[in-house]
Amino acid sequence: MPARSTNLGPSDSPSPAAGRAHPLRGYLFIAVAAVFWGASATFGKAVFNGSLFPGQPLISPLVLTQTRTTISFVILALFLLLRGGREAFRINSLDLGRCLLVGTLGLGGSAFFYYLAIQQATVAIAITVQYTAPVWVLTYMALRGRERATGQRVAAVLLALAGVALTRLFYSDVHLGAYGVAAALLAAICLSFYTVAGKELVARHHQFKVLGYALLGPTLFWLVANPPWRLAAQHLSPGQWVFLFLFACFSMLLPFACYFTGLKYLDPTRAVVTCCLEPVFAILLAVMFVHETVRPIQIIGIVAVLAATVMVQLQGREEVMLQHE
């Protein structure tokens, strides 16, 4: 009887064929990630404008990004150590460098520029511009010959973009700040980067190992860019630190664990189009918990995003069927 593997190494990763056989798992994991991200955007805006902690020191985008990354890394590193010991961290030097790059430029960059866009403009603008990412991913993958830019796939990307614009651009008063739009565009590029590069890494290593090293990258970066004594000088209250811990878990650790798991089953374009469900869930959560109303134009946008997700799913099924013929 073969010994049971306790490490989180490449042997734990499903084969590419297994990923193609269960694409619905990918959609489910990324949809769950989108729920967490949709909720965290509203909390982030409440933190920046001081409404969540009135009378207390403001939490800047830098502090929010640094703490949620560092806390997430510590929790995941402890989990990996307890789950698989030192074997859980074994990785070749080339992929280690790639993971650190994905984390620093991808996860860290997208988070920082996204929250900077929220601070400088609005949640609506930040999400709308950030989710031009499907265009960049599809363009890159098509130019590299890794995906076919079929009419259905292009239509799904454009439909998703239109849906995001309709759900968020008309959601509130639009404040178009040049710095906010630029930051959101950089966030889109960073999102595209970690989607494409992360897909390649999780094909060779367990997704939690990839995520752990990816979180290590920005954690080390922020230790240098904003040392602990500067963070301590913020004089945050105990309540704010509790919030930062919970925010790290539910806005980064859990959703990114779901997202990297979803990348095992979906190609980058389908994965990033599915991410466009984030503004849909943000609106639905606002309706359920803070009693906001949904305008007819937003309903059209929600339907457009859902239709785009179905279109990329059907595209994937057609490709699988052709491979088996």
pLDDT tens digits along 110-124: 888 888 887 776 666
8 A C-beta contact, residue 22 and residue 265: yes
* Percentage with pLDDT > 90 across the chain: 32
DSSP SS3 for 181: helix
pLDDT at 73: 96
Output the six-digit token pair for 324. Answer: 């088996």
pLDDT band at 4 (very low <50, low <70, confident <90, very high): very low
Return the beta strands (E) in 195-292 as ranges. none
Give, as one character, the DSSP assignment of residue 175.
Answer: -
CA torsion sign for 37, 39, 43, 46 is positive
87 or 166, which is more confident? 87
pTM above 0.85, yes or no: no
pLDDT band at 168 (very low <50, low <70, confident <90, very high): low
Compute how many other C-beta atoms are within 10 angstroms of the C-beta atom of residue 113.
25
* Percentage with pLDDT > 70 across the chain: 81
Which of 96-105, 144-153, 173-182, 307-316 tops mean pLDDT? 96-105
Average pLDDT over residues 80-85: 91
pLDDT at 314: 65
Residue 322 confidence (pLDDT) above 50 = no
pLDDT tens digits along 239-289: 999 999 999 999 999 999 999 999 999 888 888 888 878 877 877 776 676
Compute how many other C-beta atoms are within 10 angstroms of the C-beta atom of residue 24.
12
Rounded Cα gap, residues 278 and 12, in angstroms: 29
* CA separation, residue 182 to residues 160, 217, 261 (Å): 21, 24, 30
Average pLDDT over residues 316-322: 46
Judging by beta carbons within 10 Å of its beta carbon (0-12, 13-18, 19+), is residue 290 exposed, middle or buried? exposed
Backbone phi, psi, residue 125, to 5°: -65, -45
pLDDT tens digits along 13-29: 544 444 555 778 888 99
Of the ranges 1-10, 159-168, 225-234, 245-254, which one carries the lowest mean pLDDT score?
Answer: 1-10
Report how far apart the first and last C-alpha atoms of the chain are (Å, whole number): 37
